[in-house]
Amino acid sequence: MKTFDINKIREDFPILRREVNGKPLVYFDNGATTQKPKQVIDAITRYYADMNSNVHRGVHYLSQISTDAFEITRRKVQAFIGAKHEHEIIITKGTTESINIIASCYGRAFIQAGDEIIISAMEHHSNIVPWQMLCDEKGCVLRVIPMNDRGELDIAAYASLFSERTKLVSFTYVSNALGTINPVKEMIDIAHEHHVPVLVDGAQAVQHLAVDVQELDVDFFAFSGHKMYGPTGVGVLYGKEELLNKMPPYQGGGDMIKDVTFEKTTYNELPFKFEAGTPNIEAGICLGDAIDYIESIGLDAIHAYEDDLLHYATSRLSEIEGIRFIGTAAQKSSVISFVVDGVHPYDIGVILDKLGVAVRTGHHCAQPVMDSFSIPGTVRVSLAMYNTKEEVDVLMDGLKRALTMLL
């Protein structure tokens, strides 16, 4: 394991040196988006200053170096998640678009009226709504894996949901609202026993946990750059070559074609078949710099540090009278959601902001999760590798002050 130097890491993030409302920024909204290290910020500036040009289409120098840099990122992603082929890596706008691609393209090709899709009770809206839209269009049926009051999926119930009508399973690796780490490999194996492919939403996983898509044997895997210290507007869809080749394109346009006539279009090979139009070139290139940054520290070291911080923060927050944790799974990653008796989460969030502490309040794009706990929302503290125990102590002081004012 690499040495984890928290002081050096914090120096890499310029925004952590700023103040909010006259107080040093304490940023605990990493589940929504992470801050960016100077290595990524500098790479964004370097792209526009030194190589700005469209990719895949030009013979001139700038286009060639931009294309090379963009494709280097694809190879970095391949290595980062352990994909077999670089052409199995589709560059998208983010996790949401990646899921929508599968809902649209796999759904168009393989799902018919009466077929069933399995998702879980803890999904982000991005892994619910696309399947509901497909069900409305196709007349297929959505089945939901239940969870217990700790925020853990019922795996026995999950296994019982399969039938000859089941055509796809889609679930999150780590819950954005609860922090639950699901038993992904076990769930994939169960689906494959029924010859059903699996999509895993890895948006809350890849920045915290090492992922190997071949070891998992997952069929599709999606994640976003901005949640892993990279730019916004870029993400990844991994898919097994065989399945991607069988699926129709998502959109029509430039780069996803080989030949076009008014009579017929021949589609391009992978990965370009699913990458119509000019991509977010800067973000695609600089996603590679974010991967480099994570790997320079090491995911094992990151996970160990964040796990220790999670336990410390949970222990400290447990001191608050009337607190109720939402999501107490045995396996968790970097998210603490809670409510306090008699206090609305929004009010807590507003007062913490005045004290320079950024947390997320609300339903976290997971309204069915909130409904299952009969609450309108939570205060969510989501941790990253640059957070510290001292910042947790600042959160505690602010929370105590907020509750003194609100109760």
Residues assigned a catalytic role: 365
d(Cα 239, Cα 336) in Å, to the nearest integer?
A: 31
The H or E element spanning position 41 is helix 38-50
Give the Cα-Cα-Cα angle 293, 299, 301 (nearest 5 degrees).
Answer: 105
Sequence-separated (6 or more) residues with CB below 8 Å from residue 357: 23, 26, 28, 394, 395, 398
| CA separation for the pair 15, 33 (Å, rounded) | 13
Q: Is the peptide bond before 271 cis (omega within 30 degrees of 0)?
A: yes
**Integer Cα distance of 187 and 285 in angstroms:** 33
Looking from the CA of 133 toward its CB, the CA atoms found within 13 Å total 15
The amino acid at residue 257 is: I
Q: 67 Cβ partners below 8 Å, 6+ apart?
A: 55, 56, 58
In whole angstroms, how far apart are CA 233 and each of 28, 252, 336? 21, 20, 26
What distance in Å separates the CA atoms of residue 227 and residue 229, rounded to the nearest whole number?
6
Q: Which two tokens stand for residue 235?
A: 């993400």
Question: What is the phi/psi pair of residue 168, to 5°?
Answer: -165, 145
DSSP characters for 65-83?
A: HHHHHHHHHHHHHHHHHT-
The DSSP bridge partners found for residue 199 are 170, 220
Give the span between the Cα atoms of 255 and 58, in whole angstroms: 12
| Lookup: tokens for 251 | 């959109």
Q: Are 106 and 243 in contact (CB under 8 A)?
A: yes
Q: Where are the alpha helices (DSSP H) in 229-365?
A: 241-246, 281-297, 299-317, 345-354
